[in-house]
Structure 1
Amino acid sequence: MNAVRVWDPLVRIFHWSLVAGFTANALFNDPEGKAHEVIGLAVLGLVAVRIVWGLIGSRHARFADFPPSMSASLGQVTEMATGRKRIHKGHSPLGALMIYNLLMTLIVIGATGYMMTTLAFFGVGWVEEAHEIAVTWAEISIVAHIAAVFFESRRLGINLPKSMLTGYKDIPAAGDDG
């Protein structure tokens, strides 16, 4: 195995802070409470930092390193279906789509959540509905993301959760079974 540095500290701090913030607001905070609002704004701030970092950050943090591509994603699905293994140092094509999905969904959640605190949109049904739908979509996406991370970790023989903790991916050397 070759330990390859992939995730810089900002990406890892962003990821785990986002996990903590979203989890706190989804499971532990009163949706009507001030803490929910403050954490929601903090999550939106994290997303803004990540977008900037996606433009100027380290190699694998940059959006240019994982552009959204339906054809590449379908290629990855084909690889999975046929038992072929292609290891990506950064995000895989399906992983990239999930990142864009989650970032956009969190922006919608944050924007509608903020709108509900304003006089113009307080109590407006479609804003509350959009917020709830986006939260539900985020929860579905997060479950799919976690399942995919564990599936791909097993399939490829790479501990992906560990790499998001340490910043290094243990990639099999040429000739290794994996």
Structure 2
Amino acid sequence: MASTVKVWDSPVRLFHWSLAGSVALCWLTADELQSLHEVAGYAAAGLIGLRLALGMAGTRYARFSQFIRSPKRTLHYAGEVLRHKEPRYLGHNPLGAAMVVLLLSMVGGVALTGWMQTTDAYWGVEWVEETHEVLAQLLLGAIALHVAGVIHASLRHSENLSLAMITGRKRAPASGDVL
């Protein structure tokens, strides 16, 4: 069995799966169970706050400074992916990092507009409701892209990234891998 290294710590993994569960629960309860929908939305908002803290002061691979790349570097990496010449990253690759930022922003926007609908100032305001619904639908598309990216990277680099987000471990780095 190939040696492995710890990449994702428990708080990152707990955040990831808790956010996935909260978003799924929000989606499932959107039209029927409003109180559960709101609780799940507040949980998602709190989880975004936790991830922002981990991104600033967490362990090495949790920190935004470790994995967020410039737009130029991200586009270069996308070209490498299209040519099937992308290196394996031990942490997030540049496209994965862009997806992290997108998903955090989108869940934050959905949570914000959901909360706004519970306030006296914005209750019943059409643009707030419509923005909430549009962001939620766009979030589903982003989640589908995220899952497709995980599957693609898993196949390209012969490692199960979903399992790594459960165990926290990935295959030890090899020559040419980006640490």
**TM-score bracket for this pair, using the shorter chain length:** over 0.9
Separation (CA, whole Å) in 1 of partners of 2:41 and 2:70: 30
Structure 2: tracts of 5 or more residues without a match: none
2:116/2:122 contact within 8 Å kept: yes
Note the 1:5-20 alignment, pairs <5 A: 5-20=6-21
After superposition, the C-alpha distances for 1:26-61 in whole angstroms (9 at most, x for unaligned) are 024546611111110011000001101111100000
After superposition, the C-alpha distances for 1:110-138 in whole angstroms (9 at most, x for unaligned) are 11000000111011000001101110111
Which residue matches 1:25?
Answer: 26
Which residue matches 1:152?
Answer: 153
Which residue matches 1:140?
Answer: 141
Secondary structure, counterpart of 1:4 in structure 2: strand
2:90/2:173 contact within 8 Å kept: no
Query: Cα distance, 1:83 vs. partner?
Result: 2.2
After superposition, the C-alpha distances for 1:66-121 in whole angstroms (9 at most, x for unaligned) are 12421221222222222214111110000000000011111111110000001110
Moved more, 152-161 or 64-73: 64-73
Secondary structure, counterpart of 2:88 in structure 1: coil
Note the 1:62-141 alignment, pairs <5 A: 62-141=63-142
Query: Cα distance, 1:16 vs. partner?
Result: 0.3
Separation (CA, whole Å) in 2 of partners of 1:16 and 1:61: 15
Moved more, 125-134 or 27-36: 27-36
Secondary structure, counterpart of 1:145 in structure 2: helix
Which residue matches 2:162?
Answer: 161
Runs (4 or more) in structure 1 with deviation over 4 Å come to none
2:117/2:128 contact within 8 Å kept: yes
Identity percentage over the alignment? 39
Secondary structure, counterpart of 2:80 in structure 1: helix
Instruction: Count matched residues.
Output: 175
- Matched residue type, 1:106: V
Query: Cα distance, 1:143 vs. partner?
Result: 0.3
Q: 1:31 to 1:100 in 2, by over 3 A?
A: farther
2:113/2:129 contact within 8 Å kept: yes
Separation (CA, whole Å) in 2 of partners of 1:68 and 1:103: 16
Separation (CA, whole Å) in 2 of partners of 1:31 and 1:7: 36
- Matched residue type, 1:4: V
1:25/1:31 contact within 8 Å kept: no
- Matched residue type, 1:146: V
**2:51 is aligned with 1:50:** yes
Query: Cα distance, 1:174 vs. partner?
Result: 4.3
**What is the CA RMSD across the aligned residues, in angstroms?**
1.6
Secondary structure, counterpart of 1:123 in structure 2: coil
- Matched residue type, 1:61: A
